[in-house]
């Protein structure tokens, strides 16, 4: 609720300053004012004197002769008063030609009194001016309160008139559209918030009754973003006087929704995988057992020996895959320790070299300032192993594989694995951490490695990001908090 300004200007309380260089006229006006109950806050004959005395005299209203002595006439003096002080001005004049009136209007004067001035007109004009000024001040205060409330809202708010011209933008709307309130005022809404019709994909200049599902908008810099919100119309006796648009950028929410759906999908797949992996593993051990028996009875020159060896190799590979399934679906409880990421990489560097293969050049850039972090060492090795294997597979004809560590503010350790391989499209990156999603040929990948990395990193409270460009390689960056 807004508190209305208290009106205190009335006879007996209002202080009136007189700016008039004709002493007799000024004295006559002062006498009339005092008889009516006003207090005369001084009589001044020049613009310089009046402007200098206003701060000390603190008048509630100024009676300003248009033609006065000094460097400025009354109209120019009133303009200075308007710029520096919140004090209403009534002009005194013996001539009311059109040109003078037009100049005076610009200064926002509260009235004109023509000399000679009748005492009734004087009191009436003063009271009307004081009341109008008080009312305008109250409107300004209420408007300031409303703008403060709107600026504090999380949603963007744009107010337009019946012609779709912008009247007001709150701060969130300024941030979202890229337009400042004073820049946008009187501009057409279609210029400030261009909307893209989801049905046609083209810009629309009309304000819809509501934001359509899937609507998008453009900001001043040309960035397109998904938008949703509400549109309320304001009518006066059935006539439209304006609209209020309340809206928000849903990019973050849509990203979060996709992430949650992805997490739910991964959890569901993990439970399914764990449910069948053990039974499948038992069948594989039976196959291996019989293959061993048959291999023992087959002679060295027996043609079946080669086939049996291939059966064993395939079964052993399948056991490795089911082990990953079990670990993905029902991961073992982590055993966190204080570990130095740099030392772990140095100690296992030979393993990473073998995993990368001979055609891959190897580089390490380890930041010596990286502090220890608390994590399960075996899980961290698995993270690095999967990222290295993924980088190797992206460079079938060789390339450069780089492992970097760094310390990021405020409390984060970063691990980056980069390759100079084939790179990935944006569509591939969007699905990269889905279980069983792989771009490798049949039999060359399970699609679980990066899903496991994602699960380990998020369980540690960290994040994993990907930067990639077709033909220029890929960089995975894991960021882990210090606990």
pLDDT of 204:
78
| Interval 449-473 mean pLDDT | 87
pLDDT of 317:
63
pLDDT of 406:
92
For domain 15-149, the CATH superfamily is Response regulator (3.40.50.2300)
Predicted confidence (pLDDT) per residue in 60-104, tens digit: 998 988 888 878 888 888 888 888 888 888 888 776 667 767 776
Predicted confidence (pLDDT) per residue in 198-240, tens digit: 777 778 777 777 787 888 888 888 888 888 888 888 888 888 8
Tokens 């023509």 — which residue? 114
pLDDT of 7:
42
By CB atoms closer than 10 A (0-12, 13-18, 19+), residue 287 is middle
The pTM of this model reads 0.43
Three-state DSSP at 474 gives: strand
Predicted confidence (pLDDT) per residue in 405-429, tens digit: 998 876 789 999 999 998 988 888 8
| Interval 114-129 mean pLDDT | 81
| Interval 239-261 mean pLDDT | 83
Residue spans per domain, the chain: 15-149, 154-249, 255-329, 337-481
pLDDT of 274:
64
| Interval 335-348 mean pLDDT | 86
Q: List C-alpha distances in Å: 8 to 13, 60, 114, 285.
A: 7, 10, 27, 97
pLDDT over threshold 60, residue 11 = no
pLDDT of 9:
45
pLDDT of 360:
86
| Interval 242-258 mean pLDDT | 84
DSSP 375: E
pLDDT of 478:
94
Phi, psi of 411 (to 5 degrees): -140, 65
Contact (Cβ atoms closer than 8 angstroms) between residue 424 and residue 354: no
- Can you say whether the dihedral through the CA atoms of 23, 24, 27, 32 is positive or negative? negative
Contact (Cβ atoms closer than 8 angstroms) between residue 92 and residue 110: no
CATH topology of domain 154-249: Beta-Lactamase (3.30.450)
% of residues, the chain, pLDDT over 70? 82
pLDDT of 1:
33
pLDDT of 74:
81
pLDDT over threshold 60, residue 383 = yes
pLDDT of 112:
78
Q: In what order do the strands lie in the sheet with 399-408?
A: 360-366, 399-408, 412-419, 473-481, 463-469
Q: List C-alpha distances in Å: 267 to 159, 246, 256, 434, 451.
A: 45, 37, 16, 11, 10
* Closest to 125 in 3D by CA, of 13, 4, 16, 12: 16
CA distance 324 to 292: 24
CA distance 208 to 306: 73
The CATH-assigned architecture of domain 255-329 is: Orthogonal Bundle (1.10)
The DSSP-derived string for 65-111 is ESS-BSSS-HHHHHHHHHHH----EEEEES---HHHHHHHHHTT---
Contact (Cβ atoms closer than 8 angstroms) between residue 63 and residue 113: yes
Respond yes or no on whether the N-terminal peptide bond of residue 219 is cis (omega within 30° of 0): no
pLDDT over threshold 50, residue 443 = no
* Closest to 469 in 3D by CA, of 416, 429, 417: 429
pLDDT over threshold 60, residue 323 = yes
Q: How confident is the model at residue 399 (pLDDT cuts 50, 70, 90)?
A: very high
Q: Which of 149-153, 198-202, 241-245, 447-451 has the lowest mean pLDDT?
A: 149-153
103-110 contacts at long range (C-beta below 8 A, 24 or more positions apart): 103/75, 104/66, 104/75, 104/78, 106/79, 107/75, 107/78, 107/79, 107/82, 108/82, 109/78, 110/61
Predicted confidence (pLDDT) per residue in 145-202, tens digit: 777 766 767 788 888 888 889 888 888 888 888 999 889 889 998 888 888 877 777 7
Contact (Cβ atoms closer than 8 angstroms) between residue 324 and residue 360: no
Residues in contact with 47: Cβ distance below 8 Å, sequence separation at least 6, in sequence order = 19, 68, 69, 70, 71, 72, 73, 74, 76, 77, 80
Give the N- to C-terminal CA distance of the chain in Å, as an integer.
47
pLDDT of 404:
94
pLDDT of 367:
92
Cα angle 281, 282, 285 (rounded to 5 degrees) comes to: 90
pLDDT of 332:
56
How high is the mean pLDDT of the chain? 80
Q: Would strands 224-236 and 399-408 be described as parallel, antiparallel, or unpaired?
A: unpaired
Q: Which two tokens stand for residue 254?
A: 């849509």
Q: How confident is the model at residue 278 (pLDDT cuts 50, 70, 90)?
A: low
Residue 97's Cα: distance from chain center in Å?
A: 55
pLDDT over threshold 80, residue 51 = yes
337-481 is classed CATH 3.90.550.10: no
Half-sphere exposure of 238 (CA within 13 A, CB side): 0
């Amino acid at each position: 609720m807004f508190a209305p300004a208290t009106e205190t200007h009335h006879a007996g309380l209002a202080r009136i300053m007189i700016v008039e260089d004709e002493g007799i006229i000024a004295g006559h006006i002062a006498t009339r004012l005092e008889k009516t109950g006003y207090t005369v806050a001084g009589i001044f004959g020049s613009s310089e004197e009046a402007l200098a005395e206003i701060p000390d005299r603190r008048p509630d209203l100024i009676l300003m002769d248009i033609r006065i002595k000094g460097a400025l006439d009354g109209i120019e003096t009133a303009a200075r008063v308007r710029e520096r002080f919140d004090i209403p001005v009534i002009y005194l004049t013996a001539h009311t030609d059109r040109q003078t009136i037009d100049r005076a209007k610009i200064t926002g004067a509260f009235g004109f009194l023509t000399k000679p001035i009748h005492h009734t007109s004087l009191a009436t004009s003063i009271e009307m001016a004081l009341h109008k000024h008080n009312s305008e001040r109250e409107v300004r205060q209420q408007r300031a309160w409303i703008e403060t409330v709107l600026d504090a809202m999380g949603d963007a708010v744009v107010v337009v008139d019946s012609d779709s011209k912008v009247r007001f933008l709150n701060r969130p709307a300024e941030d979202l559209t890229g337009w400042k309130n004073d820049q946008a005022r009187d501009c057409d809404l279609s210029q400030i918030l261009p909307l893209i019709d989801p049905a046609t994909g083209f810009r629309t200049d009309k304000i819809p009754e509501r934001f359509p599902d899937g609507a998008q908008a453009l900001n001043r810099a040309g960035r397109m973003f998904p938008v949703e919100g509400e549109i309320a119309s304001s009518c006066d006796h059935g006539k439209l006087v304006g609209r209020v648009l309340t809206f928000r950028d849903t990019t973050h929410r849509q990203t979060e929704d996709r992430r949650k759906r992805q997490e739910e999908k991964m959890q569901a797949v993990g439970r399914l995988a764990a449910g069948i992996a053990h039974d499948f593993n038992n069948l594989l051990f039976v196959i291996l057992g019989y293959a061993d028996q048959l291999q023992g009875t087959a002679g060295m020159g027996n043609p079946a020996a080669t086939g049996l060896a291939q059966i064993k190799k395939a079964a052993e590979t399948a056991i490795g895959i089911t082990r990953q399934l079990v670990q993905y679906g029902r991961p073992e409880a982590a055993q966190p320790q204080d570990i130095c990421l740099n030392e772990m990489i140095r100690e296992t560097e030979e393993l990473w070299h073998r995993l990368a293969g001979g055609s891959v050049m190897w580089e390490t850039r380890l930041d010596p300032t990286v502090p220890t972090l608390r994590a399960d060492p075996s899980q961290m090795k698995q993270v690095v192993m999967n990222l290295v294997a993924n980088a190797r597979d992206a460079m079938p004809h060789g390339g450069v594989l780089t492992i970097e560590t760094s310390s990021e503010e405020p409390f984060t350790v970063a691990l980056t694995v980069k390759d100079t391989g084939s790179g990935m499209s944006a569509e591939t990156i969007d699905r990269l951490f889905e279980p069983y999603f792989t771009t490798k040929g049949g039999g060359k990948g399970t699609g679980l490695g990066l899903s496991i990395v994602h699960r380990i990193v998020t369980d540690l409270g960290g994040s994993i990001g990907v930067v990639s460009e077709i033909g220029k390689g890929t960089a995975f960056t894991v960021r882990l908090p210090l606990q």
